[in-house]
Amino acid sequence: MFIRALVPLLLLVAPLAAQSPAPVTLTLPQAIALGRQHGVNAALARINEGIAQARIGERRAELLPSLTAIAAATPQTLNYAEFGIPFAQGVSDPFTVWRFGARASATVFDASLITRYRAAEDSALASGADARAVGELSAAAAGLAYLRALSAGETVQAREADSAVAASLLDQARQLVRAGVSAPIDGTRSEVQLASVLTQLEVARNQRDRAHLDLARTLDLPPETRLTLADSLSGADLGVPTDPEAAVAFALEHRAEVEAERGRSQVLHSSLQAIGREYIPNLSVTGQYFQSGQGLNSLAGTYSIGVQLTVPLLDGFRRPAREQEQQLRLEAQELRQHDLERQVATDVRQALLDLSSADHQVTLATERLRLAERELTQASDRFAAGVAGTIETTSAQGGLVAARDVLIQARVNAAVARVSALRALGVLDRLQ
């Protein structure tokens, strides 16, 4: 069902000549999927994966039979003295030799070539894992851009609510001033507060529009595309391990980067084995058949079949030097793999800490907003009763504005922490 929902979005990526792009409604999972598909680095990584797949065919070709067809016409003369024929002197008359045939060869057994072929397969798997890893980075970037745009949209809504409150307080202050209950300065303070909130609203709208442009750029959509963000910043159960040890083990099995590094280690190990197996004798067969003669109507057939056993003896001690070099390359790769696994473990533990802290911040920010709303209600009641001035209502409204901003930021942090946790665990596609 999700794929069906994504197809219309993918169709929007193609440029539409002389037409304005249709409005696009996006959810966070859809934004992540589009980012994975259209990230430039992800596309380059997929190309590298195709290159690695092509190398498999190159290695396979070394093990498959080869067949060559030959056709030749050779005008020539002979120097009889070259052949030591005592009764033939001088140079022969010109003549043409016609030659048609085929030559075939096949490797029956070559341990080194077989191992290199398997190494090429491992290399393709590692390139595929690299492509997925880069795709995950592009997807995470798209998800974060989506959350920034969503946060900017919620900030606009908060400033609109603040504007409504400020306008209501200004009406109340004007009525009390006209009734002689409050001093004129109370009305002026309320006007100043409303102007301040309206300025903040305009800034928030500008930031929202800029965030939408950034999101469209990240998703490779036309900048004029009107985006509607269908998600909210509310949380959801991730459905992944939250115990640090279990989460680290889970990530080591699911992170594409780890799979890629392990694949590269296996490639170098296989290449080291291939060098060692060059000492093993290899067996091949060859054959050829030719029709030849000095005229097309006088061709005669000849053939030859050979079985060749090659036993490597000495190559100037190049193989031991190559083995030593490859062993050092393998050790360096295993060190990189070990470092990445440690980094993944650190990423996972940090992501779980951030997730727990962000959820706690949301709880605290929600309570702060509730108290700020109550404070504003009480300040308004005191102002209406004539026992307090607009200083209290202005202060309470400022506290409400701050509380709303803190809650929005806390919810953004929680959403970012969820995306980061899924990214750290290698299952960003599970985000719902």
> What's the pLDDT score for residue 432?
55
pLDDT at 235: 61
pLDDT at 11: 40
Is 164 part of any domain? yes
- Domain count within the chain: 1
| pLDDT (0 to 100) of residue 431 | 66
7 in a structural domain? no
Note whether residue 291 is domain-resident: no
Per-residue model confidence (pLDDT) at position 372: 92
For residue 290, is it within any domain?
no
**Residue 214, pLDDT score:** 92
Q: Whole-structure pTM over 0.75, yes or no? A: no
Q: Is 147 within a domain?
A: yes
The set of long-range contacts for 92-99, using a CB threshold of 8 Å and a minimum separation of 24, is 95/294, 96/294, 97/72, 97/73, 97/292, 97/293, 97/294, 98/72, 98/73, 98/292, 98/293, 98/294, 98/295, 98/296, 98/299, 99/70, 99/71, 99/72, 99/73, 99/74, 99/290, 99/291, 99/292
Taking the alpha carbons at both ends of the chain, their separation in whole angstroms is 13
From residue 429, give the alpha-carbon distance in Å to each of 40, 295, 421. Answer: 19, 72, 12
In a domain, 185, yes or no: yes
In the predicted model, residues of the chain with pLDDT beneath 70 are 1-21, 39-40, 88, 234-239, 430-432
pLDDT at 297: 85
Rounded Cα gap, residues 250 and 252, in angstroms: 6
Q: Let me know if residue 426 belongs to a domain.
A: yes
Range of the domain at 242: 27-65+109-281+318-430
**d(C-alpha 219, C-alpha 141), whole Å:** 10
Task: Determine, yes or no, domain membership for 226.
Answer: yes
- Return the CATH number at 384: 1.20.1600.10
The strand ranges marked E within 94-136 are: 95-109
